[in-house]
A and B are shown apart, each in its own frame.
Chain A
Amino acid sequence: MSIVINKETRAVIIGGAAGVNAAKKMAEFDFLVKRPLTIQAFVYPPEEGQQKEIFLGGELKNVKVYSTLDEALAHNPQINTALVYLGASRATKATQEALESEHINLVSVITEGVPEKDAKKLRILAEKNGKILNGPSSIGIMSAGECRLGVIGGEYKNLKLCNLYRPGSFGVLTKSGGLSNEAMWLCAQNGNGITSAVAIGGDAYPGTDFVTYLEMFEKDPDTKAVVIIGEVGGSLEEEAAEWLAAEKRRIRVIAAIGGTCQEVLPQGMKFGHAGAKEGKKGAGSARSKMNVLREAGALVPDTFGGLSKAIKQVYDELLADGSIAPEEPISDDLLPELPPKVQKVIKEGEVIVEPLVRTTISDDRGEEPRYRGYAASELCEKGYGMEDVIGLLWNKKLPTKEESEIIKRIIMISADHGPAVSGAYGAILGACAGIDMPQAVSAGMTMIGPRFGGAVTNAGKYFQKGVQDFPNDIPGFLAWMKKNVGPVPGIGHRVKSLKNPDKRVKYLVSYVKNETSLHTPCLDYALEVEKVTTAKKDNLILNVDGTMGAILMDLGFPVHSLNGFFVLARTIGMIGHWIDQNEQNSRLIRLYDYLINYAVEDEKEVPDKK
């Protein structure tokens, strides 16, 4: 048995992230005691319509967020309890609404800093409507084996350590949230655990006082004794003493009262909860509370440390007089364990998981990214450059200085070729249509293909094939190409020719051959091919794609990486065009009619649809 909350409790949380977090902790308890989810809905207008993922053990539940309490209750008529997890400026209105709803019997408010006037009004409203208002500033309510409202009880391991999976014989009433947990632990350690524990909150004017809950405990046959943890200030403990003394009570009362230190503190010095303030002439002091409780028959140790012994004493007496039977705690093995997170299981080596992705080039799990094992910052410090990062990420090795210089030049001479070419024009069209940089640049990027810039890979690939399969047999190579591929990639230019050579090609070939010691079988082969093709037709020269492809093959780059040099280089240019157009605030581009041949049919009427 229990008080206030039980297996039938179904709750709505009014509030945002903190409320969702509480719902998750509550679901852990639901799983431990094998009950359905306590939380059935959320009310939080900013997240209306969302569903929050709550795990009940290993089962994933989706709990809906509504914008109003009425709406949540209309869809979930089983809800009888509300938990308020809003800030102080909004909590009062939400609590008021909940107290006025006919479905809701109990409202627990975690909010700290609710103005006193509001708290008083809410308490009076609750009394008028016959509802229970717990809090404000309450961590929640726990009924062992039945229900958890709020994060009271802490982490899953603690729920087990405090025997909260099944009811004991002790009730707990505290102002403090932390001490409610401590008291539950003391009842498990020195007795058989709790029936229910209520943290009423540390404010000056709580919604429900100790006496109301004591009455409930008195009526709960399973509760044999109640542990009250009170403190200086207010009169709740005095009222509890009065209640205890008024007539013979079935339940025993054990109490600890905080705040005796104020007797020796400099005058006027106060601290602790908002409600922990001594009144005039010692009224509400910790000492006077202890005295009246003792006089009323409660067991009141001098210090908190004495609480363990007092609980043990009462437990032993209850056992001795047969009020309760000794009960072994349930073996830990019989209690369900929360399903572990997958990361944890893998870490402990208990399962094998087939990886979905394999990478061989980089790793950012450490303090900084590493490329093929080298820390990025160390590469910077030791004077490496962009070309070396390209070498590592595309070719899995650090290029030599000579090789780096070649890579750098390849990118430099291909970075841009003016606005007229497909890529740059695509990016410019995008920029003028007002789209953002990544979209505009990728519009240009989509142009790269067989007719524009995409020949580098194939040029490299076939020159390499020539070197391997047709050494010293250019005619044989050209015949094979004609039969199997078509025109040789990397050969031919629309405007350039032998008489009007491509300056970039001349420069690259001359640099590689004269200024470096690179072994260049592919480049040499390509130049031999050019000799034969230009003999047939003047413009069948080795173009820049072919030159790059051949050199990159000679540098040892993988065939698949070759187009990447053009893509990378032109990205620099296309970003430049996008920036340029934006800086100029360019207008939308529309093709002029005179640039279009409208080869269309004459105007005619649309026939009726058959």
Chain B
Amino acid sequence: MAKILEGSAMKFFNKWGIPVPNYVVVMDPNRLAQLGEANKWLRESKLVVKAHEAIGGRYKLGLVKLGLNLDEAVAAAREMIGKKIGSAEIRQVIIAEMLDHDAEFYMSMSGNKDGAELLVSSKGGVDIEDNWDTVKRIQIPVGEAPSIEDLTALAEEAGFEGEIAERVGKIASRLVLCFDNEDAQSIEINPLVIRKSDMRFAALDAVMNVDWDARFRHPDWDFKPVSEIGRPYTDAEQQMMELDSRIKGSVKFVEVPGGEVALLTAGGGASVFYADAVVARGGTIANYAEYSGAPPDWAVEALTEILCQLPNIKHIIVGGAIANFTDVKATFGGIINGLRESRENGFLKGVKIWVRRGGPNETEGLAAISKLKDEGFDIHVYDRNMPMTDIVDLAMNS
């Protein structure tokens, strides 16, 4: 799953013939002024300026400005660019033509087990949730495309009439093309607007997710996926993502500010259960982490060091199920080095470490990490006979 920014979605729409308003994305307000000299629409239309970042609730944060002329748009861009929202900095703004329109519609498509579902409503806009019963839908089996007639019929069912129904049907058919060919997981156009005087349609806003695993067959994907965690990534997270992309196996890291229990856990399934156990015992997690698929020891070491720098942590849970092929001795070698290094750099003061793990070379791995006790670490080591998440209980009760 990879959410992409509005500008990238607009580019896809253009590519597949879904009407969009004129728009530009800039990082420098002066560039917008220059673009104004070159583009008539920027000088003559009402404009909307939006922060082009993965920030939720942009409208409430004042990061969407409507009905501006070019000078006002340049001023708005100047104000937004460089602004800090939490840990995020606004680096780009998207400036689009604010199309005067007569009606707002809704159109979306999202993947499911057997293909995808296309939704259409003649009552789009901010109130779509309230008008959910007006939404008409059609299931599109994977690998198939509905006919224009089917889609026009769907539009008519949703209350569109005559030429407008035909045009909505046509836009829907292009949405299906875009969805299928770009390996999309979901596309939501809200609102899709119409200016009846010249029958001009435009997708004024778009939210789109693509299947990032399919990028190997899309040489023209020139964007990076937007953070999926509801805020932009931190430096530490980005650092781990960069490392993750270079190694065999994987290491993942997401910070949860304010938590006291750091998770240094193995495996995509087990790691979630460790986070659950902390929450179930009334604890607060400081992060989510996961290493899996026999990553190299130095990658696990890097993850360990990043994790030890989390502020306010009181416990580190070095947990994991009984591995199938991740070598416990090798990965623990990385963890041991990371812990030592972190302590030398002044971290881990008063932090208790709880270990439970099994898998290839478990005896050697557990013996090696137990030796940290002799170096003065507050570390508690258990083997497979300790139920997997019970070390969390021990930590919480200590």
Residues of A within 8 A of B (CB): 25, 88-89, 112-118, 120-121, 124, 139, 151-155, 158, 161, 174-182, 185, 189, 202, 205, 229, 231-232, 256, 258-261, 263-274, 276-277, 286, 302-305, 307-308
Contacts and interface: CB of A to CB of B under 8 A. Distances in A.
Contact of B269 (A25, A178, A274, A277): A178
A259 B270 CA distance: 10
B204 to A, nearest CB: 22
Contacts, number: 180
B331 interface: no
Interface in B244-296: 252, 254, 256, 266-273, 275-280, 285, 288, 290, 292-293
25 contacts: A112-B293, A154-B360, A178-B292, A178-B321, A179-B269, A182-B358, A185-B384, A202-B269, A205-B113, A258-B273, A258-B276, A260-B279, A263-B279, A267-B56, A269-B254, A270-B228, A271-B288, A272-B272, A303-B273, A305-B277, A305-B387, A305-B389, A305-B390, A307-B387, A308-B387
A177 B292 CA distance: 10
B324 interface: yes
B267 A303 contact: no
A185 B322 contact: yes
A489 B90 CA distance: 90
Interface in B213-239: 213-214, 216-217, 228-231
Nearest to B267: A178
Contacts of A231: 269, 272
Contacts of A202: 268-269
A89 B217 contact: yes
B143 interface: yes
B138 interface: no
A178 B280 contact: no
Interface residues on B, range: 35 or more
Given A179-B269, A181-B322, A303-B276, A116 B111 contact: yes
B307 to A, nearest CB: 14
Contacts of A286: 276
Contacts of A264: 279
A178 B290 contact: no
Contacts of A205: 113
Given A115-B211, A158-B359, A178-B267, A304 B322 contact: no
Given A260-B276, A266-B231, A276-B272, 5 more contacts: A89-B217, A121-B143, A189-B385, A229-B269, A261-B272
B387 A179 contact: no
B79 interface: no
Given A260-B280, A305-B390, A308-B387, A151 B325 contact: yes
A176 B230 contact: no
B142 A154 contact: no
Nearest to B288: A271
B157 interface: no
Contact of A175 (B266, B269, B325): B269
A270 B276 contact: no
A266 B393 CA distance: 23
A287 B55 CA distance: 28
Given A155-B359, A261-B279, A303-B389, A113 B269 contact: no
Contacts of A260: 276, 279-280
B273 A265 contact: no
Contact of B270 (A182, A267, A269, A303): A182
A205 B111 CA distance: 10
